[in-house]
Amino acid sequence: MLYPPSPAVVDKFLSFVNQSPTPFHAVSNAVKRLESAGFIRLKEREDWSSQVKKTGKYYVTRNQSSIIAFAVGGAYQPGNGLAIVGCHTDSPCFKIRPVSKKTKLGYLQVETELYGGGIWPTWFDRDLGIAGRVIVKDSKSQSISPAYTSHLVHVPLPILRIPTIAIHLERSQGDTLKINLEDQAVPILSMANDILNKPVGSTPSSDAKTALSIQDKHHPLLLSILSRSLSSHHGTQISENDIHDLELSLFDINPSTVGGGMGEFIFSPRLDNLFSSFAAIEALAQSVEGDNQNNLEQNPLIRTIALWDNEEIGSVSHQGAQSNFLEAILTRVSSAFAKEPSPALTEQTLAASFLLSCDMGHAVHPCYPEKHQQSHRPIINQGPVIKTNANQRYASNAPTTFLLRRVATLANVPLQEFEVRNDMACGSTIGPLVSKIGLRTVDIGCPQLSMHSIREQAGCHDMVYLTKLFETFFEKFQEVDSSFSTVNHLSLSSPSFIRSNSQARGSIYPVSLLARLFITLTNNMSASLLATYVPTLADEYVIDI
């Protein structure tokens, strides 16, 4: 055997990401893992006041692509906080357009739209499958108003391909790849001929013969592939005429794998950010399973994970981090335990809560070390990264990073630092967006290479570290948080004074006098004359109360 055995959590992650080609599938697989740990589904449209109990474990989904799950501590009291891990479920990809049918020069092509900021040349010459969700009519429904259901579909076959042009036809391709993403990045489905381009099965039903018919929008061959996949998965016949809408993405069918000379790397699509999302799901589940249930019974916090969609395009959606999803759940859960729910209770709960915003970070690249600030160069497999930015592109600050370090110490997990260079723009993530509702936040993430490529690279040990960090955060944060407080040591009162450090303690100058001296200086008073009143302009001045 070339490689040593991978950590169990890494093997679980590989399976998870291979089965999660879209955010819909990631949430579906999260639900399966959480339900195996005893979590119960809640619906936003229902009243929870009689359902949510102490030591209870619950989850809520939105749009099938975002999920919030939480476990209520047995010692929870109204106004106590939530220990939250926040991540995102989406990744850059090609999405099939609402009208995708295209035929050109004998080829059937599928029109796509770019989602997010991908490294699009890496999608060329790849074997691409299709996955997402489709709206299907229930063929067994006998009512006047037929029933429709949203079904997930996953076709891990090389259905599509975006071929590059041969170097013999475009010599510049050898060193410079210039692509018109509208005209030159259109996937090929098949050759256009009378047999393949003819609808398979029955004639479209009357409700499908409209100008906006699904058969008019997409190649019948594509619909046939979807119907066969759905029929096989659900064990019942679903024809292409039963498909009434779709939301599909392309993905690389090459599976995730462990790699590197010592099996220390993970090579995979969608590491940003299924790596973090999986660690959050697994840590929450593990924190309430087996012997850990005792810890939950004694815990005064609510352990929470929030996995949002649409981070790659700004989080501005019904299911994104800028929506009301988290705040609505927090309000409803805290109110379920209160005798008299109020806005003040929500604000109290927010103030007591803490968010670990976790999105992947940039590992230093051995071929491009100059792209990192020289003192902030994270390395794969040396632990999660704390992200800071003075302009608040990340939400980390001294108190929140300190609390994280305390948790990491208890977990025996190493941490690294990341800040962007002054001559480069800084990216951002969900941390600043969510913190504005009143949550203390620290931005972290594990280092990776090839971010936003169709295949990315991260570390096996970092998956172990991150899962352990999250689990310890859920179990120990209350202990860490209660040991830390802020004190306002300086409280200006009247009269206030300033003295020079070089002077004896008795030599003090009223603040008002200092202000008058500087005003006089601006009115052409010489610095030498000012020095007769204040010992030196370069001195450090200390406030005496």
Q: Where are the domains of the chain?
A: 8-91+269-482, 93-252, 497-544
User: Cα separation of 443 and 281, whole Å?
Assistant: 18
Report the candidate in 228, 244, 31, 237 with the shortest Cα–Cα distance to residue 133: 244
Q: What is the pLDDT of residue 174?
A: 74
105, pLDDT greater than 80: yes
Q: What is the pLDDT of residue 192?
A: 84
b/e per residue 184-201 (b: at least 16 CB within 10 A): ebbbbbbebeeeebeeee
Over range 226-244, report the average pLDDT: 90
319, pLDDT greater than 80: yes
Q: What is the pLDDT of residue 141?
A: 65
Q: Which has the higher per-residue pLDDT, 54 or 210?
A: 54
Over range 144-173, report the average pLDDT: 91
* 113 close to 202: Cβ distance less than 8 angstroms: no
Query: Ramachandran region of residue 170, left (φ > 0), alpha (ψ -120 to 50) or beta?
Result: beta
Q: What is the pLDDT of residue 212?
A: 64
Q: How many CB atoms lie within 10 A of CB 36?
A: 10
Confidence of residue 356 (pLDDT cuts 50, 70, 90): very high
Q: What is the pLDDT of residue 524?
A: 46
Report the candidate in 277, 530, 322, 502 with the shortest Cα–Cα distance to residue 428: 322
Q: What is the pLDDT of residue 490?
A: 53
Over range 235-264, report the average pLDDT: 94
User: Cα separation of 231 and 248, whole Å?
Assistant: 17
Architecture of domain 93-252: Roll (2.30)
Q: What is the pLDDT of residue 517?
A: 42
pLDDT tens figures, 433-488 = 999 999 999 999 999 999 999 999 999 999 999 999 999 999 999 999 999 887 76
263, pLDDT greater than 70: yes
Q: What is the pLDDT of residue 142?
A: 63
Over range 379-395, report the average pLDDT: 95
526, pLDDT greater than 50: no
Confidence of residue 115 (pLDDT cuts 50, 70, 90): very high
| Tokens 């004074």, located at residue | 497
Q: What is the pLDDT of residue 180?
A: 94
Q: What is the pLDDT of residue 340?
A: 83
Report the candidate in 123, 67, 121, 136 with the shortest Cα–Cα distance to residue 95: 123
Two tokens at 233? 């998965």
pTM to 2 decimals?
0.86
Query: Ramachandran region of residue 396, left (φ > 0), alpha (ψ -120 to 50) or beta?
Result: beta
Confidence of residue 540 (pLDDT cuts 50, 70, 90): very low
* 176 CB-near residues (< 8 Å, 6+ apart): none
Q: What is the pLDDT of residue 486?
A: 73
Q: What is the pLDDT of residue 133?
A: 98
Q: Which has the higher per-residue pLDDT, 501 or 320?
A: 320
User: Cα separation of 249 and 96, whole Å?
Assistant: 6
Q: What is the pLDDT of residue 500?
A: 47
329, pLDDT greater than 90: yes
Give me the CATH topology for the region 8-91+269-482. Aminopeptidase (3.40.630)
Confidence of residue 211 (pLDDT cuts 50, 70, 90): low
Q: Which has the higher per-residue pLDDT, 32 or 508?
A: 32
Question: For the chain, what is the total number of helices (H) and then of strands (E)?
Answer: 13, 23
Per-chain mean pLDDT for the chain: 88
208, pLDDT greater than 80: no
Give the least confident one: 375-379, 412-416, 474-478, 523-527. Answer: 523-527
Q: What is the pLDDT of residue 521?
A: 41
pLDDT tens figures, 286-310 = 999 988 888 999 999 999 999 999 9
CATH topology agreement for domains 8-91+269-482 and 93-252: no
